[in-house]
Structure 1
């Protein structure tokens, strides 16, 4: 079989067209953007999906990952404002928002973000004291995020988070902080104990004060009652009632004998009075009872004889 020139040209043209089409068709995966360069100059960005470019004229420049990415910040030493040396590491999250800026505004995007973050960690944490550094981690993260995001925004990226993972002071400094914390806790315990003792003493003093006040009040009322009884007896004597004084003397006499007889160190009791005086006083008490109740006194019922009025002891 003889082939003409046309039979050879047609298949070659078909192959060239197919190669041209395959070279111009680009499929961009999800989460990525590709930049297109024409004769070395950026023209546009390709979004995820099927895209067409001019073969042999346009070419793919940079393939940028548009998903949020994490960047590990290595451990570095930071000198605080009070000259304490601490080892600090962290992590940063960022996302590319503009593929062209991320590809052509900075060389080595991840290295640039890493060095920017490390520099600002030393700057921010170096301006703080150690105690403030350990207790204000959230404030440090917020400040770092604001500074790093503002510095990286011309690169077409968004820094979403900067976190400090570990802050490790030297071992001797940790021991000093532990001793300081223990001393502070012991101080608080002593203060609380002293305040409790003070409160107990105050309450005890108030209790003694209240008891003394009530004792004084009781003695005052007893004295008033005694004075009132003496006044009543005096009024009765002034009115000519001799039985009142007999009753008053007999009561005091009997109480005195009872106190003498109940003494623990008394073996023999000597009464420097006549027995008839005590009996006469008891008879006076019986006479008063007869006058009050309108009947015979218990003494009269017992002995069956009337006795003369009582007189003070020693005058009988």
Structure 2
């Protein structure tokens, strides 16, 4: 049994794939398996995978019809044999010591998640210098003592450990025992967030390192991959986590934490819409909310939730800004889209 199974979902990224594979086969930790999931690529990704599988026996390949990122990662999880699980996106690359250090941290601290720092590397058309993304320290967080709600509110939502899965190492035993999977991309948005929230329900300790191991390649800014059902999908994500948390006896989550998660997702969504120049796209996003009872339900919960107000304050919203955010929620609930559109256009 390998120490780590590294799952790489692949779709039409032939220009970057070899860079990613090279960074994995050259890890200082050699006892790994690399699971390349070719998710119906129409370019030469399949051929590249086959080429490297002949070179390195640690590489396993899954060729499957296109089903989206979640489907690809789940296919990798189905055959992963490692003690730990890592996820790397095919257009990113990692430093040589990444998995050696994360495994050592997880083993030494008996932690259920090991987190590392990452570097955002921008494509040439972005014309931006690369930058380290997180302010991490060497540390160990006792989630069991802190409480899941407080960890989510104090660490997860403020993005101290990031929402992504590719700067973390997970225990395969926990994933298999609780059948944790990525929800379908067609049904929710931000599948990484929901996977992490599910996993956190079973997490006792988290170890962190400030070392920068992942190079996250950011393509030119585009909203083309963001669905016009954005807010409804994010609302659905929140509802699924609430159901999961309550099922696992985290009833406090529903009362204290869920409204703040919803608040953060609405903020992120409005930010996306604000930077969109496609008015028709924005109109579709807003119109879709008219049939979402869950959006109205969570909006009301957020409106009166103290932790949500604290979160907005931590994001720099003064009293007037926090009141204005609540006004926006009311407008969205009532379907007053022309008001929202005018504010976004301005």
Higher relative CO (CA 8 A, sep ≥ 6), structure 1 or 2?
2
Q: Point out the structure with max Rg over C-alpha.
A: 1
Q: Is TM-score (shorter-chain normalized) higher than 0.5?
A: no
Q: Which has the higher helix share?
A: 1
TM-score bracket relative to the smaller structure: under 0.3
Q: TM-score, normalised by structure 2?
A: 0.18
Q: TM-score, normalised by structure 1?
A: 0.20
